[in-house]
Amino acid sequence: MSYYLTTAISYPNGKPHIGHAYEAISADVMARFKRAQGEDVYFQTGTDEHGLKMAQTARELGKTPAELASEMSQLFIDMCDTLGVTYDRFIRTTDEDHHNASKAIWQAMEANGDLYLGRYEGWYSVRDEAFYDEKELTQGEGGEKLSPEGTPVEWTVEETWFFKLSAYQQPLLDHIAANPDFIQPDSRRNEVMRFIEGGLRDLSVSRTSFDWGVQVPGSPDHVMYVWVDALTNYITGVGYPDGGATWNRYWPADVHLIGKDIIRFHAVYWPAFLMSAGIALPKQVYAHGHLLGEGGVKMSKSLGNVVDPQVMVERYGVDALRYFLLREVTYGQDGAVGEEALVTRVNAELANSFGNLAQRTLSMIHKNCDGVIPAAGNLSEDKALLDDVTTSSTEKLPAAFDRWAFSQGIEAWMNAVYACNAYVDAMAPWALKKTDPDRMAEVLGTLAAALKPLAQAILPVVPTGAQSILDQLGQGEGQAIDKPTPAFPRLELAAEDGE
């Protein structure tokens, strides 16, 4: 079966932060997990390079928007490489095929009679690249008007093309009601339905006050509203508008993975554009939560608590960061992350439990069994352990990952690791060495047999360490092994201030 998974495409107006890493890692874990299950995966990520925010940032830095976009986009590509993110395409909205696709969807919406010229007068947030109704605004501490996301808004008056979003109010509600999985988690679906029921107004979809964007076909003074072209990236990447084999194979997408702040664009505007253009809707929009700084405060440049994923990887390694982010926070909810929590979690679970299990099993085999992996035992406790490990690794973890419940899946897997460690302690193979070497060999063989499914199950999350264990196990029973090397070293908390 084919499985098309996308992430949001990030604004490259600054360096990638830990929130970007979180989304890329979780999508990558899903992509690796689905591939391991035999699915034909297409995984796309990229950068969202047009719009006023990019144009303004470039001006402040004395660069052209194209220069800024290219420089910064490279940092997002580098981040993916550092984190082991196995995307199939990294799309940039400045790519030529993307301009073609954006023009094509525009023309399809126009042909359907959904675009008309008018004048927009209302509020706009450059930071969110979003139009807001007066009734949605809140007041800041100084009495200034703020968007629902807490960002500044400005009064905007402009000649613009409008999209007849109001015509899609009922079709959208019908679609959401008929497809309960379309918006996940459930709490997000309720939020979107309330927003739609509140009444949809036609949407301004072009801008005339700047020119950094995709030109509107037939209206050289207009560039498309950045979200029109940004959302279109999802179909550009699989061959719209030409169609063909890739298109037939992967569209509609299985999941658009996004953060909770951009649900409205993905679950209201995007399906309406697609309906208008006569294109099938994605099967699911899944909104993850946001990572917060230590103490649960929002990360922001002004607070100086923005976590740099590159620094985390330099300090603690890729596996540790990937494991921590998926394990620590219940997926779909917000969660606080910090270095102390990372070190505690990774040391307790990866280093002391799983890593140590692998290391002591392989060391004992190397020293005491002529360096060859023995056969597993047949006693009831041996079979019970292997049953437990198999169920956790091939049923519980996959069932949880299938519904984006990463932490729960890893927890089920961890319980099987704990069971293995309890088995080692109860069987005490070091004591059997003297009293019953045959039984010692069975115990070590049972543990080696348990390690394989455990390592395979966790491979999408910690690809480097888990692969190292699988490599060291080789063929399993009968395999001659080398002196083992630890797959998950213990971490030390890095000194303050990045020393």
Structure tokens at 38: 């035999």
User: CB 402 → ligand ME8: shortest distance, Å?
Assistant: 21
- How far from the centroid of its chain's Cα atoms is residue 220's Cα? 37
User: CB 111 → ligand ME8: shortest distance, Å?
Assistant: 23
CB of 197 closer than 8 Å to CB of 186:
no
User: CB 375 → ligand ME8: shortest distance, Å?
Assistant: 47
Closer to ligand ME8 by CB, 130 or 373: give it.
130
**Structure-token match 């041996």, residue found:** 382
Q: Which residue minimizes CB distance to ligand ME8?
A: 259
Q: Cβ atoms within 10 A of the Cβ of 314, count?
A: 12
Closer to ligand ME8 by CB, 271 or 465: give it.
271
User: CB 310 → ligand ME8: shortest distance, Å?
Assistant: 16
CA distances from 183 to 86, 188, 274, 416 (A): 25, 7, 16, 33
User: CB 312 → ligand ME8: shortest distance, Å?
Assistant: 14
Its sign, for the CA torsion 167, 172, 173, 178, is: positive
How many angstroms separate the CA atoms of 106 and 52, rounded? 20
CB of 468 closer than 8 Å to CB of 289:
no
Which residues are at the interface with ligand ME8 (CB under 6 A)? 8-11, 19-20, 22-23, 48, 230-231, 233, 258-259, 261-262, 290-291, 299
Closer to ligand ME8 by CB, 91 or 358: give it.
91
Structure tokens at 337: 């992350």
Q: Bridge-partner residues for 145, per DSSP?
A: 139
Going edge to edge, which strands form the sheet with 255-259? 89-92, 40-47, 2-10, 255-259, 285-288, 183-184
User: CB 232 → ligand ME8: shortest distance, Å?
Assistant: 8
The closest of 136, 129, 137, 152 to 199, measured between CA atoms, is 136
Closer to ligand ME8 by CB, 263 or 432: give it.
263
User: CB 125 → ligand ME8: shortest distance, Å?
Assistant: 12
User: CB 214 → ligand ME8: shortest distance, Å?
Assistant: 14
- Supply angle C-alpha 371, 377, 381, rounded to 5: 130
Closer to ligand ME8 by CB, 46 or 484: give it.
46
CB of 303 closer than 8 Å to CB of 139:
no
Closer to ligand ME8 by CB, 291 or 312: give it.
291
Closer to ligand ME8 by CB, 267 or 449: give it.
267
Closer to ligand ME8 by CB, 231 or 450: give it.
231
**Structure-token match 């002591």, residue found:** 360
The closest of 461, 491, 465, 492 to 323, measured between CA atoms, is 461
